[in-house]
């Protein structure tokens, strides 16, 4: 069904920094209706919850939204999986899942995003033993460019499965996703303020190992990590003891926003109050504006073993970065084997930048950061803003040639391609 999009209102991404190249938007409420829409167009892109900052999900032709397809299809308590329709968001899935006694292994900083869009771009949370959100995918159903249904599972489809999960929207329309689940658990969250940069430098591994999911926030001013967020599972024997001081940082005495000057109203509960996993792993609460609101984002993945050097290299650029920055977040993610994952075969640390919404200024500083991170073979987040040359980006993905072959089988005429994919993936 073609959705009438307000004639005066242009279709934009969440941040509003990208006006999409078309407002031809079709909505499917079933697999058969999605098949019909896919078959009757030469070009189509799936639109998720529009949280990408760059044009990876843009189209100048047609969009397909699966928003009405957001049911939980089945829960398999024996296999420990849940199967969902591809239009569902984490915010819709998680409370339901928790009510059934189950949980996901991790979440991103916000619950507002679609599961399909998140796994397609290798969206991640934090935790040195936690893979990104795509690593929870145990099975997928998708439509090829011809509208045929392909079913893949981790258990039976080996390499093809590993090539498909982080599909960047280039391999087809995901209609159903099966995710690993585990018994539900509680998390408590403590925040520390003002850790000297030297504390981070000398104790990075201990800091990262202190919780199930750890985030460091800095504005790169005054040689400080402004806030350290430690999320700890209460069902684990070595739950975080929350001493008053932690490598020079002080335990916060009130809930904080990652940008300390902003109200913590939209943030998840802190101060060690235990709560369900889905109300502690994200930093931001469902029903509230996540993050700062008016902002741009960039993020780079560096190898875990070189993380401290990479962080210090960025710190040396503080004069150029801080004037345009709202906040930086540093997180840790386990390696995986998904071909186009930003953590492919590499335990990773991410250096993230939430920028003021001033693209000309951000566009000037990104190449400086990328040059500094070049020796660390940084991989930019697929969904965020970067300026890296396509050839350099491609050189960071050893399975790219296999991915291109897979795309040629599923989509020989480039129905799901757009300018971003043509530039960064398919151009040789």
Ligand X SMILES: Cc1cc2nc3c(=O)[nH]c(=O)nc-3n(C[C@H](O)[C@H](O)[C@H](O)COP(=O)(O)OP(=O)(O)OC[C@H]3O[C@@H](n4cnc5c(N)ncnc54)[C@H](O)[C@@H]3O)c2cc1C
Interface residues toward ligand X, by CB under 6 A = 14-15, 45-52, 56-57, 66, 86, 108-110, 113-114, 116-118, 120-121, 123-124, 169, 173-174, 290-291, 383
Q: Which is nearer to ligand X, 331 or 399 (CB)?
A: 331
Tell me the three state secondary structure of residue 369: helix
Cβ atoms of 116 and 325 within 8 Å: the answer is no
Q: Which residues pair with residue 25 across a beta bridge?
A: 3, 63
Angle at 22 between CA 21 and CA 25, to 5 degrees: 140
Report the sign of the C-alpha dihedral through residues 72, 73, 77, 80, in that order: negative
Token representation of residue 357: 């919404």
H helix count then E strand count, the chain: 11, 21
Q: Which is nearer to ligand X, 112 or 399 (CB)?
A: 112
- CB count, 10 Å around CB of 292? 18
Q: Which residue is nearest to ligand X (CB)?
A: 117
Q: Which is nearer to ligand X, 48 or 131 (CB)?
A: 48
In whole angstroms, the minimum distance from the beta carbon of 189 to ligand X comes to 15
| Nearest C-alpha neighbor of 95 from the set 256, 285, 259, 232 | 285
In whole angstroms, the minimum distance from the beta carbon of 290 to ligand X comes to 4
In whole angstroms, the minimum distance from the beta carbon of 65 to ligand X comes to 9
Torsion angle defined by CA atoms of residues 120, 344, 427 and 416, in that order, rounded to the nearest 10 degrees: -20
CB burial of 193-204 (b: ≥16 within 10 Å; e: otherwise) equals bbbebebbbebb
In whole angstroms, the minimum distance from the beta carbon of 116 to ligand X comes to 3
In whole angstroms, the minimum distance from the beta carbon of 7 to ligand X comes to 22
| Nearest C-alpha neighbor of 14 from the set 295, 228, 364, 280 | 295
Q: Which is nearer to ligand X, 384 or 399 (CB)?
A: 384
Q: Which is nearer to ligand X, 233 or 384 (CB)?
A: 384
In whole angstroms, the minimum distance from the beta carbon of 237 to ligand X comes to 28
In whole angstroms, the minimum distance from the beta carbon of 149 to ligand X comes to 13
Residues in the chain, total: 428
Torsion angle defined by CA atoms of residues 305, 311, 313 and 319, in that order, rounded to the nearest 10 degrees: 180
Q: Which is nearer to ligand X, 199 or 330 (CB)?
A: 330
Q: Which is nearer to ligand X, 37 or 383 (CB)?
A: 383
Taking the C-alpha atoms of residue 318 and residue 222, their distance in angstroms, rounded to an integer, is 9
| Nearest C-alpha neighbor of 272 from the set 227, 314, 230 | 230
Q: Which is nearer to ligand X, 17 or 270 (CB)?
A: 17
In whole angstroms, the minimum distance from the beta carbon of 194 to ligand X comes to 23
């Amino acid at each position: 069904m073609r959705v009438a999009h307000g004639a005066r209102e242009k279709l934009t991404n969440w941040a509003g920094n990208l006006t999409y190249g078309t407002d031809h938007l079709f909505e499917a409420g079933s697999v058969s209706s999605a098949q019909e829409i896919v078959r009757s167009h030469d070009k189509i892109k799936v639109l998720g919850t529009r949280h990408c900052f760059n044009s990876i999900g843009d189209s100048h032709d047609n969009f397909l939204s699966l928003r009405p397809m957001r049911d939980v299809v089945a829960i398999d308590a024996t296999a420990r999986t849940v199967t969902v329709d591809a239009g569902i968001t984490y915010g819709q899935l998680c409370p339901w899942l928790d009510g059934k006694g189950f949980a996901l292994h991790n979440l991103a900083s916000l619950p507002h995003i679609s599961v399909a869009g998140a796994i397609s771009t290798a969206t991640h949370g934090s935790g040195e033993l936690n893979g990104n959100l795509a690593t929870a995918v145990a099975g997928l159903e998708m439509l090829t460019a011809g509208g045929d249904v392909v079913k893949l599972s981790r258990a039976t489809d080996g390499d093809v499965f590993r090539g498909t999960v982080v599909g960047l929207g280039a391999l087809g329309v995901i209609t159903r996703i099966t995710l690993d689940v585990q018994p539900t658990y509680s998390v408590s969250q403590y925040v520390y303020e003002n850790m000297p940069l030297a504390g981070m430098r000398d104790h990075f591994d201990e800091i990262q190992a202190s919780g199930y999911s750890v985030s460091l926030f800095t504005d790169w001013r005054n040689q400080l990590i402004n806030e350290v967020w430690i999320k700890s599972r209460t069902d684990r024997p070595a739950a975080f003891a929350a001493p008053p001081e932690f490598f020079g940082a002080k335990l916060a005495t009130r809930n904080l926003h990652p940008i300390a000057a902003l109200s913590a109203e939209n943030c998840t509960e802190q101060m060690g109050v235990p709560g369900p996993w889905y109300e502690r792993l994200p930093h931001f609460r469902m029903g509230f504006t996540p993050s700062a609101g008016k902002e741009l984002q960039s993020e780079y993945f560096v190898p875990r073993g070189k993380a401290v050097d990479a962080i210090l290299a960025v710190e040396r650029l503080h004069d150029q970065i801080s004037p345009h920055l709202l906040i930086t977040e540093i997180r840790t993610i386990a390696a995986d084997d998904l071909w186009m994952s930003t953590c492919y075969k590499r335990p990773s640390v991410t250096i993230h930048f939430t920028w003021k919404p001033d693209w000309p200024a951000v566009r000037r500083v990104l190449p400086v950061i990328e040059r500094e991170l070049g020796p660390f073979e940084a991989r930019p987040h697929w969904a965020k803003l970067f300026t890296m040359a396509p050839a350099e980006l491609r050189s960071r993905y050893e399975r790219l040639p296999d991915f291109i072959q897979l795309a040629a089988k599923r989509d020989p005429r480039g129905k799901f391609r757009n300018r971003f994919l043509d530039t960064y993936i398919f151009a040789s």
